[in-house]
Amino acid sequence: MPELVFFSGTMNCGKSTLALQFEHNRSARGLQGLIFTRDDRAGEGKLSSRLGLVTDAVEAGPDLDLYAYVVEQLSRGGKVDYVIVDESQFLDSGQIDQLARIVDDLELDVFAFGITTDFRTKLFPGSQRLIELADRVEALQVETLCWCGARATHNARTVDGEMVVEGEQVVVGDVDRSPLEVGYEVLCRRHHRRRMTSAVAHAGALSPDVLPVTSG
């Protein structure tokens, strides 16, 4: 039976690399799929990994009906054996419903890849809806580490080198950006709560064994 599968993890856990591997394995067997993405670091209409791999994709903007797009490709005689969606956390809940309809009505497998929570530790709407609808939710097994060596479970946003917990939910950046612009870092829960990035730790601003307190 076809499935809607959500592969989730933190930033830098290899989700885009896995999406590209899925595409390679299936195309090598003569299957043909559609790839959707939104706001990839490589630019519009691209699916890229930090290993330097990149392929073309359909930019799933907020006005794109994913189900209608697949139906149109099939109606034109195109071959579609499966659907891959990267950066699925950025889709709106209605588009996730469309992915479920692709599985149920068109009987195609849909593989969605994305991060679960934002820099505020809140669920992305797309990820929340995927958790609600997916036949399976798979946690990616490539373990990312906090600067302290513990398992990283949270995504932190930095602006000019300072960790922030307020702002727009979607701001495109990456884990290897300059500290003088918007960037991201994966942290364990403890150090996310303390807003203790690797830069703060290395500067000795706080001790990892001492909780931050305010006077008065």
Query: Average pLDDT for residues 114-142, to the nearest whole number?
Result: 90
What is the value of pTM for the model shown?
Answer: 0.76
CB 3 within 8 A of CB 103: yes
CA nearest to 12, candidates 111, 203, 169, 147: 147
Mean pLDDT of 191-207: 79
Same domain, yes or no: 88 and 39? yes
Total count of domains within the chain: 2
Q: Quick check: is 45 in a domain?
A: yes
**Residue 191: which domain range?**
154-203
Mean pLDDT is lowest, of 118-122, 145-149, 209-213, for: 209-213
pLDDT in tens, 44-78: 777 766 666 777 889 999 999 999 999 999 999 99
Whether residues 98 and 186 fall in one domain = no
Mean pLDDT for the stretch of residues 161-186: 71
CA dihedral 56, 132, 155, 45 (to 10 degrees): 10
Helices (H), the chain: 15-27, 66-75, 93-106, 125-133, 189-193, 198-203
Per-residue pLDDT band for 216 (boundaries 50, 70, 90) equals very low
Q: Is the pLDDT of residue 206 over 50?
A: no
Identify the pLDDT of residue 64: 96
91 is a domain residue: yes
What length is written for the chain? 216
Percent of the chain with pLDDT over 70: 83
Backbone phi and psi for residue 186, each to the nearest 5 degrees, phi listed first: -95, 135
Count of CB atoms within 10 A of residue 123's CB?
15
> What CATH number is attached to the domain comprising 112?
3.40.50.300
Positions marked active-site: 87
